[in-house]
Amino acid sequence: MNNPQERLHLLFDKYLSDSITAVELDELWALIRAMDANADFPESIKTTWNNVLEQDTTADADGNRILERILEKHRQPVNHRVVTILKNNWGKIAASLLMLLGLRLLTHKTTEVRPVITPHVIATAGNNKAVLTLSNGEHLLLNDQATGTIAKQGNMQVIKNKDGSLSYTGSGDNTLGDACNTLTIPPGSQYHVTLPDGTGVWLNAASSIHYPLSFSGNKRKVDIDGEAFFEVAQNAAVPFEVNSGAMQVLVLGTTFNIMAYKDENSIKTTLIDGVVKVVCRESNQQLKPGQQAILPNGGNNFHTIPADMKEVLAWKEGEFRFYDTDIASIMRQVARWYDVEIVYRGAIPQNKFYGVIPRQHNVSQLLEVLEVTRHVHFRIDGKKIIVMPGPK
């Protein structure tokens, strides 16, 4: 393939599908840097980024600074002729594209990332830590438990599986009554549990679920705090109910995600597959796959919107995924995942951020990526992250 535009298009497609290698990413940068005065990006790439252009509020001057800083950051020579070409041909699309390339570039070239400030915040994220509280009040730190049966409650056995997840075997009996377990996930961890009825639950950081050992009666009822992905075992005779503050979700057998952190502005239920009925104080509605119900904190009614499934499920796939996301929302995620305190100094930046960053990266790498935009600046002080406006 000798045509540079065709090669650029191919590499860009591989970038979008997240299948690009580090060597190919270097080649993509080389093709961008080698553009001459008559160069232009393929029309298909421009079309792909139309949505970015329509929603991007970055000023041209900001876009130019973003472009030049990214080129400088990755030790790429700043060819001012290329900068001019990009600006004149399709300014904001080019700036947004290169900003996102910078975000993804850091995910591939971690050795080139410099810390924002030393000492680092110790990255303890990504562990399968959890605390199980049994019906008798006993607390089990699951990370310390050996594989196999870790507790018995009536005829029910609690099993720690080889992959570190939790499950139950046996059957509920009359001696269990209303006995419940609570599974609590600390910041910096996530966990998978299979409930006694066979329902799979994946819990995000700083979340908990409270559930009975015996699902008796005409409902299977659980309570969550935080965020969880459910794969509900089908049982048409006994509906499954999830309570998350002011919102209840009723299902028979389906997959869905609930985000109900107390420090967020709303409770969100997103249906992936099947059918759920969302109920709150003054409204109820059945969701269709791809819909998201949003209940503002303190509100009595929810509304529905089409969901961005990649963004909703990014945490489960091991990613931070930002699309039109403000810094306060990003930093709430950072606080939960890295177990740090967030402090704001000066005006909170109102800009929106875009990008995909693996959650296993050190927090300093994530902050370095965000600083590329020059909209925000960070200082790390032990377990505290100080957020400040970026340089003017």
Name the domain boundary from 249, 284, 311. 311
Residue 297, domain CATH: 2.60.120.1440
Please tell me whether residue 269 adopts helix, strand or coil conformation: strand
The whole-number average pLDDT for the span 265-277 is 95
Which residue range is the domain that position 334 belongs to? 318-389
**Total structural domains in the chain?**
3
Question: Of the candidates 302, 301, 272, 303, which has an alpha carbon nearest to the alpha carbon of residue 288?
Answer: 272
The answer to whether position 123 is within a domain reads no
CA dist., res. 189 & res. 167, Å (int) = 18
The residues, ordered by sequence, that sit 6+ positions from 31 with a Cβ below 8 Å of its Cβ are 4, 7, 8, 11
Task: Clarify whether residues 39 and 141 are in a common domain.
Answer: no
The answer to whether position 282 is within a domain reads yes
Task: Clarify whether residues 358 and 271 are in a common domain.
Answer: no
The answer to whether position 216 is within a domain reads yes
**pTM over cut 0.85:** no
Res 18: pLDDT: 59
Question: Of the candidates 271, 267, 268, which has an alpha carbon nearest to the alpha carbon of residue 253?
Answer: 271
Task: Clarify whether residues 151 and 298 are in a common domain.
Answer: yes
Average pLDDT, the chain: 78
Torsion (CA) 251, 253, 255, 260 in degrees, nearest 10:
30
Q: Are 64 and 99 in contact (CB under 8 A)?
A: no
Task: Clarify whether residues 40 and 181 are in a common domain.
Answer: no
Res 33: pLDDT: 57
Question: Of the candidates 154, 135, 261, which has an alpha carbon nearest to the alpha carbon of residue 207?
Answer: 261
Res 241: pLDDT: 95
Read off the pLDDT of residues 165-182 as tens digits, 9 standing for 90 and up.
Answer: 999 998 766 667 788 999
Res 60: pLDDT: 46
Residue 30 corresponds to which tokens in the numbers above?
């080389």
The answer to whether position 211 is within a domain reads yes
The answer to whether position 338 is within a domain reads yes
CA dist., res. 202 & res. 231, Å (int) = 9
The answer to whether position 126 is within a domain reads no
The whole-number average pLDDT for the span 151-156 is 90
Task: Clarify whether residues 75 and 206 are in a common domain.
Answer: no
Is residue 387 scored above 80 in pLDDT? yes
The answer to whether position 327 is within a domain reads yes
Task: Clarify whether residues 322 and 305 are in a common domain.
Answer: no
The answer to whether position 295 is within a domain reads yes
The whole-number average pLDDT for the span 64-85 is 46
Task: Clarify whether residues 172 and 275 are in a common domain.
Answer: yes
CA 64 to chain centre: 29
Residue 328, domain CATH: 3.55.50.30
